[in-house]
Amino acid sequence: MTVYSPPSDLLAERCVLVTGAGDGIGRAAALAYARHGANVVLLGRTRAKLEAVFDHIAKETKTRPTIVPADLQHLGEDSASALREGIERDYGRLDGILHNASLLGPRNPVEHYPATDWHAVMQVNVNAAFLLTRALLPLLNQSQDASVILTSSGVGRRGRAYWGAYAVAKFATEGLMEVLADECAHAGRVRVNSLNPGGTRTAMRAAAYPTEDPATLPIAESHMPLYLYLMGPDSKGVTGQRFDAKAWQVVTRACPSA
């Protein structure tokens, strides 16, 4: 079976926003995008983590990354608009968004789920993605080939007990993907897909499954061919689809560059 192998200049001259870029899958994706030529806007909550990713990119590539410290729990319309203005000023374009940032929240039954936690999870996982996408769509629509990737989960496709707001938010993420993909389909410039990375060796996974041996899980870097495929031009015309990292080998059969 063929494995997708992206060219080194896959994302040359493109500008890509990655949320949750400080660690885990977001960090791996930001590095992968930069290594393939993209100028990456690194959005995350912890400046020190973003600075470490920035330094790594600056050392390895000739791209122009930018740090945007932001707590998505407090993101509003004004801050989303300010981000659009900053990207337009610094880069003059935007060709992609990876909505990677997520908040797990407590693992409680709905009956005992704290309302404050519920609202916080929905804000980070759904509302912030909506606000950012809405604010940045004018820039994306100026691109001839833009991609929006929304991070999903297995519990966002089949609900399970005790996953509470996280599962509900991921179901909403799937709905946002389908609505936005349908709205953008006519113009054909912006494609929108969801991606379920599955079990991955990250801090969030460890918090959700504290007794699990992390050595049994794939590292974030192993998923990067799929993240590059969906962000790059080889996936042009692919929209409104639900992708699973575990099924990526099947998907590569149809890839133009495979």
Q: pTM for this one?
A: 0.91
User: Does the structure show a pLDDT above 90 at 187?
Assistant: no
Q: Exactly one of 166, 209, 227, 229 is catalytic; name it.
A: 166
User: Does the structure show a pLDDT above 60 at 151?
Assistant: yes
Work out the mean pLDDT of the chain and round it to a whole number: 89
Is residue 21 within 8 A of residue 102, CB to CB? The reply is: no
Q: pLDDT digit string (tens) for 87-132?
A: 999 999 999 999 999 999 999 999 999 999 999 999 999 999 999 9
pLDDT band with cut points at 50, 70 and 90 for residue 255: very low
User: Does the structure show a pLDDT above 50 at 256?
Assistant: no
Known catalytic residue at 33: no
Q: Which candidate, 81, 72, 134, 60, places its Cα nearest to that of 101?
A: 72
* Minimum mean pLDDT range among 11-15, 150-154, 165-169, 204-208: 204-208
Q: pLDDT digit string (tens) for 193-203?
A: 999 986 566 56
3-state SS assignment for residue 223: helix
Provide, rounded to the nearest whole percent, the portion of the chain with pLDDT above 90. Answer: 76
Note the pLDDT of residue 198: 67
Residue 74 corresponds to which tokens in the numbers above?
Answer: 């407090």
3-state SS assignment for residue 40: strand
User: Does the structure show a pLDDT above 60 at 1?
Assistant: no
Residue linked to tokens 């495929």: 229
User: Does the structure show a pLDDT above 50 at 222?
Assistant: yes
Q: pLDDT digit string (tens) for 26-69?
A: 999 999 999 999 999 999 999 999 999 999 999 999 999 999 99
**DSSP assignment string, 86-97:** HHHHHTS---EE
Note the pLDDT of residue 211: 64
Give the helix/strand (H/E) hosting 129: helix 128-140
Strand order of the β-sheet with 190-196 is: 66-69, 39-44, 15-19, 96-99, 146-151, 190-196, 242-244
The terminus-to-terminus CA distance of the chain in angstroms comes to 10
Note the pLDDT of residue 251: 42
Residue 159 corresponds to which tokens in the numbers above?
Answer: 């609900």
